[in-house]
Amino acid sequence: MNDTKTKILKESKSLFSELGYKGASVRKIAAKVGIRESALYNHFKNKEEIFLSVAKDIFASPFSFNSNEIQEQALKGKPFLKKYAMQYKLLSFDKDNESMFRILLIELLQNKELREQFMHDFHDKNIKILSEGFFIMMQNDLVRSGDPMIISYEFLSTLFYIRLQITLLRFDSLSTNTLSTQFEKHVDFFWDSIKL
């Protein structure tokens, strides 16, 4: 990605976080980047395309493993889940992503393309990675047999809920200290419920 496009995404993320989707106009984005509005259209066709590009990073899977890497990690059993949850924790407590995550939750209800992107980039990819990992663990007698997809939903849903709790508490300027260990506790509890 060229420098101007990278700067547009960086400044857009800042403006979306500060002003929301509706408040961050193309004109404001271009001004913050230091380019003419017409020059911005050389990189993105409209504000929605910029927003969807920014959203892609927020909803990204904590892992971008190929099948060989998933197999290698999954054979470790619980450390695979720990590593996954710790990456998720880092995303959840990342203050740079906090405001954007809030805005994305609002926009998900209003933007069909964003919902489709969320389902593809966050939901489907995470479930695929986790279900491949759980399937490998089952084949190697690390965990009980079952439906790897359902087990993946169970594991991921708690992580997502903790992230949502963090967002809601921060929105009201309340402490998130009690949630800082919930990711690790979730892995311990979950592993004990599925291990052989």
- The answer to whether residues 30 and 36 touch, using CB atoms and an 8 Å cutoff, is yes
48-99 pLDDT, tens digit each = 999 998 888 777 656 677 788 889 999 999 999 999 999 889 888 887 777 7
Q: Same structural domain for residues 117 and 147?
A: yes
Q: How many domains does the chain have?
A: 2
Global pTM reads 0.83
Q: Same structural domain for residues 180 and 149?
A: yes
114-127 pLDDT, tens digit each = 899 889 888 888 89
Distance, in Å, from the CA atom of 187 to the CA atom of 159, rounded to the nearest integer, reads 9
Give the per-residue pLDDT at 63. 65
Is 43 in a helix, a strand, or coil?
A: coil
155-196 pLDDT, tens digit each = 999 999 999 999 899 889 999 999 999 999 999 999 999 999
Distance, in Å, from the CA atom of 118 to the CA atom of 72, rounded to the nearest integer, reads 27
- CA contacts within 13 A on the Cβ side of 54: 31
Q: Same structural domain for residues 45 and 100?
A: no
35: left (phi over 0), alpha (psi -120 to 50) or beta: beta
Domain coverage including residue 71? 59-194
